[in-house]
Amino acid sequence: MSKVVVFGAGGKAGRAVVTEALSRGHEVTAVVRDPAKYEDLASARVQVVAGDITNVRSVAAAAEGHDIAISAVYDASSAPEPFFVGAAHALLESLPQAGVRRALIIGLVSNLEFAPGQRIMDGPDFPEAFLEFSKGHAAGLEVFRSATTDLDWLVVTPPMVLDEAERTGTYRVGGDQLLTKEDGTSHLSYADLAVALLDEAETPKHHKTRISVAD
């Protein structure tokens, strides 16, 4: 049994991670901005606490005494680049101080490649409405990639379509390119994304890199 701290535990991905961690016998600290809004998350093995993933002291306080940190954060009220860059810096600085050696961060599909060296977000048909958010996520990824750190981080990037389909317990793993099926589709359930994250938490196979996952 390990102690897992989940940042952004109130969202769909975060809740799936909490559920999967509990099913494997782990203890969980669920970090959200306002615990009063997420009282349903609390249980005998889940402590719900307030936290700000862009604040070094807040991250360190929430992560103290845990073995693994998982970030499923999303903040629609903040400018994307300062938020994701700030979150990356806070995790890199605070988690080693708190004694956490392994961190898993959910990435964004738009900065995967659809062809070697060609990111989805740079394609001519990419929607302008999502470009700022995508650039922010990509900037956060580059913070991790350029860091000199003892933190064993991994960015796990799900595909185009994430939904609430049933857990299968299976998934495929790729690198920087989008994983698709023969018909060109790309899909994964939140539950199986959580499986991929907890598999890496329990038995690390990839280190200080980014991977893609899909069904």
Backbone φ/ψ region at 64: left (φ over 0), alpha (ψ -120 to 50), beta:
beta
pLDDT band at 75 (very low <50, low <70, confident <90, very high): confident
Q: Average pLDDT, whole number, for the chain?
A: 95
Structure-block tokens of residue 72: 């499923």
In three-state form (DSSP H/G/I as H, E/B as E, the rest C), the secondary structure along the chain is: CCEEEEECCCCHHHHHHHHHHHHCCCEEEEEECCHHHHHHHCECCEEEEECCCCCHHHHHHHHCCCCEEEECCCCCCCCHHHHHHHHHHHHHHHHHHCCCCEEEEECCHHHCEEECCEEHHHCCCCCHHHHHHHHHHHHHHHHHHHCCCCCEEEEEECCCEEECCCCCCCCEEECCECCCCCCCCCEEEHHHHHHHHHHHHHCCCCCCEEEEEEC
**Boundaries of domain holding 58:** 3-214
pTM assigned to the model: 0.96
Domain count, the chain: 1
pLDDT band at 92 (very low <50, low <70, confident <90, very high): very high
Q: Average pLDDT in the 87-99 region?
A: 97
* CATH number of the domain encompassing residue 10: 3.40.50.720
Rounded percentage of the chain residues whose pLDDT exceeds 70: 100
